Amino acid sequence: MTQHITARDLPVSERPYEKCLLAGPQALSDAELLAVILKSGSREMNVVALAQRILQADGKNLLNLYHMSVEELMHFPGIGKVKAIQLKCVAELSRRIARTDRRERVCLSDAESVAAYYMERLRHEPQEQLLVSMFDAKCHLIGDSVIATGSVSAVPGSPREIFLRVFEKKAVSFILLHNHPSGDPSPSREDFALTQRLKTCGELLDVELSDHIIIGDNRYYSFRENKQILV
């Protein structure tokens, strides 16, 4: 029978559970927090050492939980399918907690608040994802919808699809968002062209394109802030 090294096998001073009870979760290192989720390590290493190995892979950190697939996580000793799925769920939970906290602060006319709301959702995406964020007459966020995944320049029938979603929600204004996996949110010629097309279509249909926001790595570009969209 394989014996996995758990947190209980560590000296009392190094056990993350006891440390959390004494000083609170904020006192735990990233590896210790991850060890609480993992519960046990492998025959070769204790659970904290296993957590450290996951965090140090590819020279990254906690972002590995976003970037690694279930299959990649299963390459670590002591990580089976169940633990790998648990780790991916923890990453998704953290993303949703961040969004929930920011939703009430989303303001149609404040690009920074919109970018902050979508930052964790989009900045980790390995491909470009185009979505529309929709608002009611009181400028409240009423929902969003993913239009396409892939290159924005190759989004099929994007204006038609976008306005169908907008009308389904009975929105009076909307913001277009997409991410640049490179981390650089600088707009391309295709981004400018798509923005202009949607702005023109919106004027004809009496639905306002309020902004087009490009998400990078903890950075964003707002067409409205840069006066590329006048409202």
What is the per-residue pLDDT across 55-110, written as a single tens digit (0 to 9) for each? 998 767 888 888 899 999 999 988 999 999 999 999 888 878 877 766 667 788 89
d(CA 123, CA 219): 9
Taking domain 105-222, whether its CATH number is 3.40.140.10 is answered by: yes
At residue 13 the predicted structure's pLDDT band, cuts being 50, 70 and 90, is: very low
> According to CATH, where is 3.40.140.10 located in the chain?
105-222
How buried is 231 (Cβ within 10 angstroms: 0-12 exposed, 13-18 middle, 19+ buried)?
Answer: exposed
Which pTM does this prediction carry?
0.67
